[in-house]
Structure 1
Amino acid sequence: MSEALNDSGAGKDTIMERRGTYLWRERMEMIGRQLLAINVHGFHFGSQSEGTTTLGLQSDIDFLQSSNTVNIMTVWEDWEAGMGNLLMLHDDTIPPQQYLLQAIQKDTPEPHTIYSLCYDNCVLKDSGQILYSAEGKKQEIEDQYRYLGKATINGPSVSFQSNWDVVHAYHVLKPLPDIQNWIHRCRGRHWPPVQLLEAARVAPCFLVPAGHQDSDYKHEEWRLSPNLIERLLMFSFNITQLKCYVILKLIKKSLLYENVGDCITSFHCKTIMFYTIERTHPLLWFEHNLSFLLLLSLQILRKYLRLGRLPHYIIQGVNLFDGKVSKVQQRRLLVYIDNMIRNNLYDVFYIGIDNIGSRIQTCGLLRNGQDGELRRECLHNSICLLLKFDSMQTLFTRLNGFIYLIRSSNTNLEKEIKYLLHYAVQYSTNARLKSVAFVFIKHLYALVQSIQSSDCLRLRIVANNEMILRFQYSLNTDLASSRLKLASLLYSGGYLHAAVRVLADVGRRCHNRVKAVCGCRRIKGDDYIPVFANMISGNSDDGFIEPPFALCVRFHWKEAYCCPNILLFEMNRNITEEEVAQRSYFEKLWMGCAEVDARPFLHYLQYLAYGGLGERDKQIRALGVFDSYMNNIGKEIFLYHMETALNLLGHCYEMEADYERTLSYYKMS
């Protein structure tokens, strides 16, 4: 079973790769928001950040963001002047884990009494208290971000992306009796360890907008969620415990789903794991015991199904079956789990997700040891590339957002970017944030240098060595985009021989396994694992020297003198209100710029540079390669700005005076 999980992408290396990637993305979001003075903390929780998923499980990305502008009070002494203050209320009429939030004034520690002067999404309680509504908060989020598209509301989540769950919450910094009671209850046990309990003592909890379905105040209630403590517990799992949890989720999604639908959730499985680890001797948690340990987990689930309640591991008085698993479903599950235990887990052979059942049956029988290792290594490397690709996409989108906000505010672009760069440098002194800060610094520095170089060319100042040397620091933002900007600068400044040398270097790097990355457009299938597996299989070396990704090349209007003239038309699209209204938010991020995929731009610059040098044979060869690339059947996977690439190719044929082909490509564009 353990080997089958390794083959399915749930081995230790892949789990740690996932975990590291999402923690990196969390730090990247934190710096990105603070650079924009957005006083919100963001956290990646759930399967992706834990690493406890496989491709077949298709786990969503869970993101929680908590505002730092609101102070949650547990007692009146917690009040802070100038903050949005909300007092937690709980009595015997409110279910465990649920709280009401009373609106408190900013300038004095007294409740709001005038309803009209309070927050938009507040409601008046029968007692006269003004409550901050959870449902009102979700409606506010939906209205505020409507420009992103149609929202999907699922429990406390309000999301505008299909595979994301985004929760807007408030953090509680003060000690809570629920958490302190749990810490006291766990002392003296082998798990959780003492260090974890000490960390849990100071870890914030969150209030998420979700009420209890049987409560009189279900639309106003907020649920206490100890996400960071649960993360600490998950990060304390060893590899066998993580694999046992993954198998439970596979059983849940494949076998239990056929019996009772999706009423059992990953959180139910996680809670079962907490109780199993707490009650099992540490010396048993080794991979050769995995099937036995899975059996113990199912026995604990059977016990709670018989009792009709699954207690929350941390917060007392909460039954996780309430509102999720009906009595009928509990009885049906109990019969199935009981039979599964009696049959010695035989049903795991019927897990279809990731072919787990088949893998378990054939392990040790049909597998060739070396071939098995190669397949496993290929899947691990493919997943690593997919995670890197997703991270670069997210980073590029965040950078695009920076520029869009600056451009929309009509402020000085170069001055504002230098301001962001200054703050990014300050973050680089933080050991935890250092690696992320340097990525921001490289991209922002590259943009500043390009803008300054454009100004020099506009003023007809000859590009000097110092100007070109400044580009070196940011050349490794990716394989191609910064180098192509340098080549474009050199061409625009008349340094054709130097431009050709840079383009030759880019051509060597941009082999056929390099994948384009765009921060504003998505193509169906561009994140399928076979795409990355093909990149791996085409690599005869032990690995890639550099990550095989090339960002799209983007020129802002302040860089106009660094780019070929044809791209100036891309910066001047129709901008009537009617036309702008038809664009999505992500289209607006780049519509005022010229953006092109790296490979077509490489071929276009080669055509121009060789033409400028009078090397006609090389110029014709570059055009032939460009034309062949654009007519490649598989190009749609790799090209995000097809219309711009077609315009460039059409312009080449226009310069060749081949007007029939010119018209054909312009019409295609």
Structure 2
Amino acid sequence: MFQAPDYIESVSVKLSEVLSDIGVDERIVLKRRRGALLAESMATRSLQLQDCNDTTYYFGSQSEGTTTLDLHSDTDRLYCFNDFNVIQDRSDWKPGVQICLMIQDDTVSPGYCLLQPLRKDTPHPYHTVPNKNFSERKGKILIKNKVISEMADIIENGGTRHGPAHTLQKQTGMNYVDIVPAYHCKSWPLQARQWLDWQGIGQWPSADMRRYCDSTGCFLVGVGSRGSEHEEFEWRISTSLAERCLMFNLNITQIQCYVLMKMILKTLIKPLFEDTISSFMCKTVMFHCIANTHSNIWRENNILGCLSLCLFVLHNCILNENCPNFIIPGNNLMRGNIPQTYKPYILQKLCDVVTGRCIALLGIECDDLGLRLQCKMNNLSSFKASDIVSGYILKSLAYSIDFSIRPCLICNSSNEEAVQTLRKYISKLVDISDQCEGVDKAVYHLLAPWFYTSLGTALASYSIHLDNAVSAEALTWISLGLNTDVSSSKLKLASIYYCTGDTRKMETTLRNIERSYDVNTVEPICSCHFYIKQALREGFLAISNDHNEEAIQHILAFCVIFMPYEIKCVPHELQYEMFRSSKDDLAFRPLHDYWIKWAVVDSLPYLYFLQYKTYKSLGRQDEKKRALSNLLKTTDREPNLGHRETALNLLGQCMEQENRATDALRCYLISLNLRERYNAAKIHICRLLSSLLSNK
């Protein structure tokens, strides 16, 4: 079945060029990995700031850089509960800590284990069942694996359960997020001890890689082997950190080969045979191929040969219904996965790909691979997708910043308590930064300015409440956080000047924001709720392609958020948004409703609203009209507004101030049509109608 025809070299080079064009090259792979590692670190730092002793890991294709735009790979997030300690040897037991002993014996499926809780006062097991999450099996008190999924359900409210994973609702333009809860064991699993001393023909994995893998330990995921007599008590052993190390040490040809396998899987196998073959099986097959071949075959001009080799090995795995896990070979990934009715058809599909002289590749529509390859073979050029991929990587990182910051800012306490909390966060963040380097250090520079701005605004709100002035300390903190992005922090400063009546400083601040806000380049960012997003701007894509996370402060505009404890820094027209919910709305609470008591507005319409107020106050009619026109145009035409209803509510109030009551009412009605519940437009409609009736 496996052979190397004469055409293989020339087609391989063209195929490698095509994969580079669609974003599978060394530069984009490194961009994807850096973005995922930054997001991973931010999520964990956010938990640490909130005194939560858990760790978040980002695994899978997105973090490996082994995906494309059309593969639509999920984001795999492992949530590790660190307060739950797992050991493999009783000598590692410590008093006063919740500890479980991993049991790996002949009664347990390969790649799985049982967890036996040990007492906190002695390294011995319990003799009675503590609660419903435990049960006795063959003389041992064991933990049921469903307990960890129930814990995740509490943490991640909403979404859907799929086995051990908790899948969050998909937002348009983003990928699904699978959250897998797990426990961690610091020691390497006994079932994989032999792997640490083994090395393949190609000297891969290297001794250094295996030493690192040994230090990563393993995770325990709450799912048992299908059909096992201990299924509800078994925990799957995951070596995800070790597998990530292996993936990060692949060359670009190996990565491209894996991506091709996934494209073939998506195009030829999954539509007909559902989830019989997984991308993890393809990854495992590739690991075996790399380990059992000399490294010199994995080169750009032999990618077709490498692909054929991998498909040949996959063919044999399916034929024998045995795909051994690369690190724990006793764990057969295909056990019970291949229905006999499907098997001959799947085998034939793989044969057709290998023997068809790349005909099958020409038929792959994913990322237009087939069409692009045909163009390359005819010496026709095709457009490169690297800028689009870079844009989505940067935008995804921006959402990660938002998701990491927001839980820390949610505070129903008083202004004084909020200030104390924010000071504590900043102090902890500085301490964490002093102890880290590399990606973790970069995370500090991404997160810290947001806390500086929030603390400064909270302090300003308090000082405005006392004597309608802004304290020097508040301005110092705000100045440290002005470069979070293009506009949101600067707009909060402009709001403070508005609320203290400092029109001149307000005008200067707004002019600087407008100068930096290039509407052809800057992308709005809002993660409050799910809404349909349009294609990214070309200017944004171009800059994203040339820069990493440092571009966020130049080409992204987050929505402007005011918490209740910042209310004295909020123009009265926007304060209505903090009181948008009525009693009737409470029965229709949105899934993620934390923001409904905040005043939240997109940056661009808020910029024009504040300009309108400024120039109205200064009596500069032409500039006031221009600002109002820009506000109307933005509210109507900007495709990526997360809070269009709020922008309409601000526009309506401007129309009222222009004595255009009919236009104001139209704005409120359009706003209400966009968001029926939790909308301050109801207040404005009642207020406007009452005013009109009173005047009449």
TM-score > 0.5 by shorter chain? yes
Q: Which residue of 1 aligns with 2:123?
A: 109
Pair 1:393 & 2:399 matched: yes
* Among candidates 148, 152, 161, match of residue 141 of structure 1: 152
1:315 deviates by 0.5
Matched, 1:38 2:52: yes
Q: String of CA shifts for 1:321-374, please: whole Å, max 9, x gaps.
A: 112223443333223323332333431111121111111122142524xxx4xx
Aligned counterparts of 2:226 and 2:220: Cα–Cα separation in 1:
17
Q: CA offsets, 1:141-160, max 9 Å, x none?
A: 33x247x32x4222321233
CA contact (8 A) 1:167 1:208 kept: yes
Counterpart residue type for residue 447 of structure 2? F
Question: Counterparts in 2 of 1:153-552, with a 5 A limit?
Answer: 153-162=161-170, 163-186=176-199, 190-365=203-378, 367-368=380-381, 372=382, 375-376=383-384, 379-404=385-410, 406-407=411-412, 412-429=417-434, 430-432=436-438, 433-460=440-467, 462-463=469-470, 468=475, 470-513=477-520, 514-526=522-534, 530-533=535-538, 535-536=540-541, 547-552=554-559
- SS state at 1:66 partner: strand
Quick check: 2:455–2:474 contact (8 Å CA) kept in 1? no
3-state DSSP class of the match of 2:232?
A: coil
For residues 641 and 460 of structure 1, what CA distance do their matches in structure 2 show? 32
* Counterparts in 2 of 1:145 and 1:540: CA distance versus 1, 3 Å: closer
Q: Which runs of 5+ in 2 are unaligned?
A: 1-14, 171-175, 672-696
State whether residues 188 and 218 of structure 2, in contact with CA within 8 Å, keep that contact through their aligned partners in structure 1. Answer: no
d(CA) in 1 for partners of 2:670 and 2:523?
Answer: 23
Cα deviation digits, residues 549-604 of structure 1 (max 9, x gap): 1011111222222221112222223364x6445323522x2222211111111111
Pairs aligned (count): 647
Aligned counterparts of 2:591 and 2:122: Cα–Cα separation in 1: 40
Shift of 1:629: 2.2
Q: Deviations over 1:411-469 (max 9, x none)?
A: 81111111111101112211132111122211001111111122222222544777545
Output the CA distance in 2 between the equivalents of 1:537 and 1:198: 41
Partner SS for 1:95: coil
Amino acid in structure 1 at the alignment position of 2:244: R
Q: Which has the higher contact order (CA 8 A, sep 6+)?
A: 2
Deviates most, 279-288 or 43-52: 279-288
Equivalent runs, 1:46-125 vs 2, <5 Å: 46-115=60-129, 117-118=130-131, 120-125=132-137
2:676 paired residue number:
none
How many percent identity over aligned positions? 31
CA distance in 2, matches of 1:101, 1:44: 25
Compared CA separation, residues 268 and 467, structure 1 to 2 (3 A): closer
Does residue 617 in structure 1 map to residue 622 in structure 2? yes
Q: CA deviation at 1:392?
A: 1.5
What residue is the counterpart of 1:24 in the other structure?
A: 38
Pair 1:252–1:189, CA change in 2 (3 A) = same
Q: Secondary structure at the match of 2:260?
A: helix
In structure 2, what is the Cα distance between the partners aligned to 1:247 and 1:408?
53
Using the alignment, how far apart are the partners of 2:469 and 2:143 within structure 1? 62
- For the 8 Å contact 2:200–2:291, the answer to whether it is kept is no
What is the one-letter code of the residue matched to 2:325?
A: H
CA distance in 2, matches of 1:467, 1:38: 29
- Say whether the 8 Å CA contact 2:652–2:665 is kept in structure 1: yes
User: What amino acid sits opposite 2:142 in the alignment?
Assistant: L
Deviation per residue, 1:222-244 (Å, 9 max, x gap): 01111111111101101111001
Residues 79/161 of structure 1: CA separation in 2 closer, same or farther (3 Å cut):
farther
Q: 1:211 deviation in Å?
A: 0.9
Measured against aligned partners, the alpha-carbon deviations of 1:624-644 in whole angstroms (never above 9, x if no partner) come to 221222222xx3x32111221
Taking structure 2 as the reference length, the TM-score comes to 0.88
Does the CA-based 8 Å contact 2:462-2:568 persist in structure 1? yes
Q: Evaluate the alpha carbon distance shift between residue 65 and residue 582 of structure 1 in structure 2; reply closer, same or farther with a 3 A threshold.
A: same
Distance 1:462 1:343 in 2: 77
| 1:85/1:103 contact within 8 Å kept | yes
Deviation at 1:409, TM superposition (A): 9.7
CA–CA separation in structure 1 for the residues paired with 2:370 and 2:513: 46
Is the 8 Å Cα contact of residues 443 and 477 (structure 1) preserved in structure 2?
Answer: yes
Assess, with a 3 A threshold, how the Cα gap between structure 1 residues 503 and 567 changes in structure 2: closer, same or farther: same
Query: 152, 158, 167: which one pairs with 2:160?
Result: 152
Q: Tell me by how many angstroms 1:194 deviates.
A: 1.3
Q: Distance in 1 between matches of 2:544 and 2:195?
A: 52
Distance in 2 separating the partners of 1:338 and 1:187: 27
Determine the C-alpha separation between the residues in 2 that align with 1:545 and 1:210: 39
Question: Residues 547 and 329 from structure 1, CA distance in 2 versus in 1: closer, same or farther, beyond 3 angstroms?
Answer: farther
Match of 1:62, SS?
Answer: strand
Instruction: Report if the CA contact (8 A) 2:456-2:476 is conserved.
Output: no
Q: 1:71 touches 1:80 (CA, 8 Å); kept in 2?
A: no
Deviates more, 1:461-470 or 1:175-184: 461-470
Q: Give the distance between the partners of 1:222 and 1:79, measured in 2 at CA.
A: 20
CA distance in 1, matches of 2:590, 2:155: 12
Which amino acid letter does the alignment assign opposite residue 600 of structure 2?
E
For residue 602 of structure 2, what is the aligned residue in structure 1? 597
* Native 8 Å contact 1:205 1:227 kept in 2: yes
The residue type paired with residue 24 of structure 1 is: L
How far off is 1:615 after superposition? 1.1
For 1:64, give the aligned amino acid: L
Cα separation, 2, equivalents of 1:16 and 1:113: 52
Tell me the equivalent position of 1:584.
590
Matching residue of 1:652: 654
Q: TM-score, normalised by structure 1?
A: 0.91
Matched-pair contact (CA < 8 Å) for 1:382–1:532 = no
What CA distance in whole angstroms lies between the structure 2 residues aligned with 1:312 and 1:241?
18
Is the 2:386–2:545 contact (alpha carbons within 8 Å) kept by the matching residues of 1? no
- Quote the residue 2:693 is aligned against: none
Task: Tell me, yes or no, if structure 1 residue 14 matches structure 2 residue 25.
Answer: no
The aligned amino acid for 2:277 is I
Contact 2:387–2:545 at 8 Å: present in 1 too? Answer: no
Relative to structure 1, the CA distance from residue 410 to residue 450 in structure 2 (aligned partners, 3 Å threshold; closer, same or farther) is: closer
Q: CA 1:259–1:668 in 2, change beyond 3 Å: closer, same or farther?
A: closer
- Tell me how far 1:270 sits from its aligned partner: 0.3
Distance 1:469 1:164, change over 3 A: closer
Deviation at 1:619, TM superposition (A): 1.1
Say what the alpha-carbon RMSD is for the aligned residues. Answer: 2.5
- Specify the code of the residue in structure 2 equivalent to 1:44: Y
Distance in 1 separating the partners of 2:477 and 2:340: 68
The 3-state SS of whatever aligns with 1:310 is coil
